[in-house]
Amino acid sequence: MSALEQTDIFISGGGVAGLTAAAAFGAAGFSVICADPAPPITEAATEGADLRTTAFLQPSRDFLDRAGLWDRLAPHAMPLQVMRIVDAGGERAEARVAHDFNAADISELPFGWNLPNWLLRREMVGHLATLPNVDFCPGTGTAQVLTREAEARVTLTDGARIAAKLVIAADGRASPVREALGIGLRSMRYGQKALAFAVTHPIPHENVSTEIHRSGGPFTLVPLPDHEGRPSSAIVWMERGPEVKRLAALPEPEFEAEMTERSAHLFGPLKLASRRTVWPIIAQIADRMEGERTALVAEAAHVVPPIGAQGLNMSLADMRVLVDLAEAHRDDPGTRAMLREYHRARHAEVLARVTGVDALNRASMAEAQGLRDLRLRALNAIYSVAPVRRVMMRAGLGATG
């Protein structure tokens, strides 16, 4: 039997959330072991690469900085200055109203910074390799977790045994650690999927992130740096499942014609600049964000449809609270009292965001013309009252107060 290795923090899962947690706890001086059965794919062209992008909102950028990651990421990040919401829900697929939410109304900084997920993995793995107190074990998964009052005992798939003061479950929406602890969850299904891919377009994006609503779900373009000398954006296109299946199988010219139509021609003819990847869309929230010696973070705790860049940004907020608490309980991070405090600090806030994004997604899916007109009136009403608009913008960023 292999020797028992002691660590402060064991992180189950090395997706973007788990890697960020490893960097953050490493920067805070804790000993960290992070395991993931799937080695990270760090090249866009490799089969299976995560071609989504993540728009990190202001508080997340601060946290990435604290985790020692921002200096490596900043040179690749595309600033997002304006969020434009376009309603194209009339009889024809044309923009009938566009409202700009400009970061300058509430801050001197941009709203957020957009980065490709495969590049995040590359830079994060590169950074972890420089930290002597962080051990990242790709190709090795969590096989068993047993918790006691004083510590957690973890067995990995290669037989290694670990004693940790705190286990962080960052092992995704089907979290094996959450399952092992018997923590329940509530899921909402929409019969929807998302296509994620990159495009080029003749009309520049000018650092505007554009969300176009018609039916089936939002069509969102998020600015990327130029691709082969042409303006480029990452697109997330949400539709009912069968429609996504049809779109994913279309030959490129037909697909490009359909996406240009769906974009209401706002950027001219769109041209594919990557493969098309398909993602299932659900919302989900765990009943609790803690168990004995364990904290759930990111998709292990909550999943939302990709609207308003909430998913990973909520996850980074989980980690911010957790690192703060661990620093305040440095001798023994992971006590019952500390973890209850973590649950109290995060669960109500997460529930409110999951509920809000669920409502926005259902509004965006609306097929009936009457509902689409109602959605337009609601958007106009929010936009026309400046203080309400500013409160919504701050709430979207995850700012409190």
Ligand X SMILES: Cc1cc2nc3c(=O)[nH]c(=O)nc-3n(C[C@H](O)[C@H](O)[C@H](O)COP(=O)(O)OP(=O)(O)OC[C@H]3O[C@@H](n4cnc5c(N)ncnc54)[C@H](O)[C@@H]3O)c2cc1C
Interface ranges with ligand X (CB under 6 A)? 12-18, 35-38, 52, 54-55, 141-142, 170-172, 176, 194, 196, 236, 279, 298-299, 306, 309, 311-313, 315
What is the per-residue DSSP string for 49-89?
----EEEEEHHHHHHHHHTT-HHHHGGG-EEE-EEEEEE--
- What is the smallest separation between the CB atom of 138 and ligand X, expressed in angstroms? 9
Give me the residue whose beta carbon is nearest to ligand X. Answer: 15
Query: Which residue, 2 or 369, is less far from ligand X as judged by CB?
Result: 2
Shortest spacing between CB 217 and ligand X, in angstroms = 11
- Of 207, 353, 357, 230, nearest in space to 281 by CA: 357
Cβ proximity to ligand X, 138 vs 269, nearer residue:
138
- Minimum CB distance to ligand X smaller for 279 or for 383: 279
Phi, psi at 377, each rounded to 5°: -65, -40
What is the nearest approach in angstroms of ligand X to the Cβ of residue 215? 18
Q: What is the 3-state secondary structure (H, E, C) of 236-300?
A: EEEEEHHHHHHHHHCCHHHHHHHHHHHCCCCCCCCEECCCCEEEEEEEEEECCCEECCEEECHHH
Which C-beta is closer to ligand X: that of 30 or that of 136? Answer: 136
Concatenating the DSSP letter of every residue in 352-391 gives HHHHHHHHHHHHHH--SHHHHHHHHHHHHHHHHSHHHHHH
Whichever of 307 and 379 has its CB closer to ligand X, that residue is 307
How far is C-alpha 240 from the chain's CA centre? 21
Across 129-229, the runs of DSSP E, i.e. the strands, are: 134-138, 142-147, 152-156, 161-169, 185-200, 208-213, 219-227
Cβ proximity to ligand X: between 18 and 396 the closer is 18
Nearer to ligand X, 157 or 335 (CB): 157
Q: How far is the CB of 89 from ligand X (least distance, A)?
A: 22
Distance of closest approach, residue 13 Cβ to ligand X, in angstroms: 3
How many CB atoms sit inside 10 A of residue 216's CB? Answer: 18
Nearest distance in Å: CB 397, ligand X: 12
Q: How far is the CB of 259 from ligand X (least distance, A)?
A: 15
* 3-state class (DSSP) for residue 342: helix
- In the complex, the smallest distance separating the C-beta of residue 368 from ligand X, rounded to whole angstroms, is 26
Those residues whose C-beta lies under 8 Å from the C-beta of residue 106, and which sit 6 or more positions away, are: 390, 393, 394, 397
CB closer to ligand X, 279 vs 376 = 279
Torsion on CA atoms 11, 16, 17, 20, rounded to nearest 10: 80
